[in-house]
């Protein structure tokens, strides 16, 4: 049951006077539930109990945290059709997408459960003492990763499950030993509350401290501002626009105690199609990329918004084919009137730029909140001169850059802002002679795809979902996969500490049997 209230720990609360409703973009009408925006008192209460919970939860064993995470997954599954129906009513997305995203959310939780129950993720390191060393004795030093404190996670608009209430940021933070306060996204507050109820139930079932999780409603920006500025909050997770992410980064930096903001923001995900590949597979590539550009109505952070090739008959034919193929795909609904409004505004601003040509735009009759896909093209010289053309148009939109030659293509890549992904389409012999393109692209992205599409982010230990600014605020970390846990921890050393008072991870006998670096060698043996 959806109440519209905030979860302040395990208590439902509705002290605020400001209310709002979610919206069904497919039916073009408001959903019925009224949601209560959190009051200042509720924010204070949520942070206070999170801070208290941290004192206990930070010491919770990996086995206990794993049980908690797996129980969250079980409770989400137990929501069954109610969750799927709510998700669809708040997004307009189909049932298949809802179930797929639920599966990814469950998978992430279980992956982190496996990680923490095994335990080696803490990167335990021991350098034994040498009292006879000269000219000065060597101390005993032991290091591991420890959680940093209460985390605020902002739910993402385009992934109500996998990047929101129990999504990757939350799963990673809880796995690390940090309590989480969710700033629920107003577009899918009902979905968020249902998932929050599953987390709260799991916390109660597994004996977690009250305050290990809270879910805060908000229709505007002030609640998020108040949370980020609160002195007891120690880090922020965010997925969304560059404007919002940068605002949070600046707020966090101006605090008396600055804190990290791990934000995944905008990206145009450049695709480079080299001449031989274009000549050999131009028609099939046009079909493939038309599907990728329109997938999920272009509402993916890895949407291929920029395609680069070298001028010639093959590229001209590809542009024509891409325009033809994209018109064969029926438009689909965007997540909210605000999102399609931004799409239309950004699209209009982009196509108003000089020297840009509209190749194809869907002009058929469509329903409210459906997006008309568009392909544009511009010459490399004009693209280099106009940085407005470098910006993301969030939706089913892509731009083909016609470069004069390979050298100009390399130059364009080097001038791009940081991106989540880059893609190279090439024949094997072709890519071998274009190492400079690979090097230039590697300097601008977090992940390079070879002969594929950027849409689709595999959840695995080797995945990097992040990149140079502004695709993310810290390119050293990924927002996807088990290594994302490293955002919510810090290294800590014990010097000359009694063995019996050390954490189990650092004791001589290694009771957890984890892999440790002992005097420079990796081992799970005791010392």
Residues recognised as catalytic: 264, 301
Q: Which residue has the tokens 């239309």?
A: 344
Q: How far apart are CA 22 and CA 189, in angstroms?
A: 7
Calculated CA dihedral for residues 312, 315, 321, 325, nearest 10 degrees? -170
Q: Is the dihedral of CA 56, 59, 64, 68 positive or negative?
A: positive
Instruction: Give rounded-to-5 percent helix, strand, coil for the chain.
Output: 40, 20, 40
Structure token digits, residue 258: 């600055």
As beta bridge partners, residue 262 has 237
Element containing residue 422 per DSSP (H, E)? strand 419-425
Which of 74, 88, 472, 87 lies closest to 245 in space, CA to CA? 472
Report phi then psi at 486, rounded to 5: -70, -10
Q: How far apart are CA 88 and CA 492, in angstroms?
A: 44
Pairing of strands 6-8, 11-13: antiparallel
Pairing of strands 271-273, 306-310: parallel
Cα R_g (the chain), whole angstroms: 25
CB-CB neighbours of 480 under 10 Å: 24
């Amino acid at each position: 049951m959806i109440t519209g209230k905030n979860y302040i720990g395990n208590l439902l609360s509705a002290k605020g006077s400001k209310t709002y409703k979610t919206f069904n973009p497919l039916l073009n009408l408001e959903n019925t539930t009224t949601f209560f925006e959190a009051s200042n008192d509720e924010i204070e209460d949520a942070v206070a109990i999170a801070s208290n919970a941290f004192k206990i939860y930070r010491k919770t064993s990996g086995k206990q945290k794993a049980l908690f995470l797996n129980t969250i997954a079980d409770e989400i599954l137990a929501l069954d059709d109610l969750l799927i129906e709510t998700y669809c009513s708040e997004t307009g997305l189909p049932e298949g997408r809802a179930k797929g995203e639920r599966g990814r959310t469950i998978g992430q939780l279980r992956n982190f459960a496996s990680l923490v129950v095994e335990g080696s993720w803490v990167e335990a390191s021991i350098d034994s003492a040498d009292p006879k060393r000269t000219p000065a004795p060597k101390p005993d030093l032991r290091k591991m990763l420890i959680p940093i404190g209460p985390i605020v996670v902002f739910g993402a608009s385009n992934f109500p499950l996998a990047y929101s209430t129990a999504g990757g940021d939350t799963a990673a933070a809880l796995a690390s030993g940090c309590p989480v306060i969710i700033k629920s996204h107003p577009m899918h507050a009902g979905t968020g509350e249902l998932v929050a109820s599953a987390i709260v139930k799991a916390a109660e079932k597994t004996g977690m401290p009250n305050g290990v999780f809270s879910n805060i409603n908000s229709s505007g920006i002030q609640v998020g501002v108040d949370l980020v500025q609160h002195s007891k909050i120690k880090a922020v997770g965010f997925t969304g626009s560059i404007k919002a992410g940068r605002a949070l980064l600046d707020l966090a930096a101006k605090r008396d105690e600055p804190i990290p903001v791990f934000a995944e923001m905008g990206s145009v995900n450049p695709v480079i199609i080299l001449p031989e590949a274009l000549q050999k597979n131009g028609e099939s590539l046009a079909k493939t990329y038309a599907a990728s550009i329109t997938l999920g109505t272009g509402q993916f952070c890895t949407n291929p918004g920029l395609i680069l090739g070298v001028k010639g008959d093959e590229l001209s034919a590809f542009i024509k084919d891409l325009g033809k193929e994209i018109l064969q795909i029926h438009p689909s609904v965007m997540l909210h009137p605000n999102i399609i409004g931004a799409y239309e505004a950004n699209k209009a601003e982009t196509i108003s730029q000089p020297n840009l040509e509209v190749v194809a735009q869907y002009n058929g009759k469509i329903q409210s909140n459906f997006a008309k896909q568009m392909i544009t093209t511009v010459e490399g010289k004009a693209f280099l001169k106009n940085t407005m053309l470098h910006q993301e148009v969030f939706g089913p939109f892509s731009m083909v850059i016609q470069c004069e030659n390979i050298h100009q293509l390399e130059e364009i890549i080097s001038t791009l802002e940081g991106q989540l992904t880059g893609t190279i389409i090439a024949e094997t012999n072709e890519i071998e002679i274009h190492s400079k393109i690979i090097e230039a692209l590697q300097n601008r992205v977090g992940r390079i795809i070879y002969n594929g599409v950027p849409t689709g982010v595999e959840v695995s230990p080797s995945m990097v979902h992040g990149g140079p600014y502004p695709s993310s605020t810290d390119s050293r970390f990924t927002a996807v996969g088990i290594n994302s846990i490293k955002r919510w921890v810090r290294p800590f050393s014990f010097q000359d500490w009694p063995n019996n008072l050390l954490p189990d991870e650092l004791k001589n006998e290694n009771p957890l049997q984890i892999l440790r670096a002992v005097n420079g060698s990796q081992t799970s043996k005791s010392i």
